[in-house]
Homo-oligomer: A and B are copies of this chain.
Amino acid sequence: MTGREGGAPLEPIGNAPVVILVRPQLADNIGACARAMANGGLFHLRLVAPRDGWPQEKAWRNSSGADRILDCLTLHDTVADAVADLHHVFATCPRPRHMVKPVLTARGAASELRSIGERGLRAGLLFGPERAGLDNDDMAQADALIRYPLNPAFMSLNLAQAVMVMAYEWWTAAEATPPRALMTNESRIATKGELENFLRHLVDQLDACGFLRNLPKRPGMVRNIRHLFQRGEVTEQELRTLHGVVTELAIGRRQRGRLEPDTVAADETT
């Protein structure tokens, strides 16, 4: 919940498809659909014959601030009326029935919807009522069906979840975020030279404390430590912290060494 009066300042983004809820039953779900649409950058909502009439206060309460989507929606008596000004219509259908029709995945549909939008054409997405889904006449109004790849052992998908998946794919289809990136905030990735500098400091201190006293094993041990620190990206700030850690441990060791040398020696072997 945003708690903001009047909701978030949402606006249409680009040539996004229209969401058409066909005979939706629950106002709660209409609100949740508006929220999911906002998450994915969709704005235009049409309702075909909502079961309990419209408007319903509950929808606004359940939209978490996606009020403007609900404020701007249009009401229609029939699917034919709701799609009359659109160039392409896709119908979501978890269990495609006896018909000859192209079937798209959600991702495939998102990609085609982007192309349609770029050509300046308007597309619509039909979502059926909660209990029964779209009927055969509804689907005959669509160019293609959209079927999400999901667990065939459990296909019961909440209406707002169905809208969420499609809105998410719509948004993602125009996203260039790398699948993995190190977030470094005000710091930056350390250079290999900075890492080498730290490793030299560490190895010097390990030589000084005797950890590397077994000379035949020393090269392998140093290499293993190097492998560990090379494994992931390290920031320059983190290297400075590590320098401090090594320095302070070494000072502590020397101070303790003066006080209780036997204990320190025992610790080393554990």
Contacts and interface: CB of A to CB of B under 8 A. Distances in A.
Given A39-B151, A65-B156, A149-B172, A102 B238 contact: no
Interface stretch (A120-128, A177-185, A198-206, A259-267): A177-185
B107 A156 contact: no
A26 to B, nearest CB: 12
Nearest to A62: B158
Interface in A26-59: 32, 35-36, 38-41
Nearest to A232: B102
Nearest to A181: B103
Nearest to A104: B180
A70 B140 CA distance: 39
A235 interface: yes
A65 B100 contact: no
Interface string A140-183: 00001101111101111110110011001001100101111111
Interface of A: 1-2, 8-10, 13, 32, 35-36, 38-41, 64-66, 96, 98-109, 111-112, 144-145, 147-151, 153-158, 160-161, 164-165, 168, 171-172, 175, 177-185, 187, 232, 235, 237-238
Q: Which 10 pairs between the two chains have the least Cβ-Cβ distance?
A: A108-B179, A38-B154, A149-B175, A41-B151, A103-B183, A64-B156, A161-B164, A149-B177, A39-B150, A108-B180
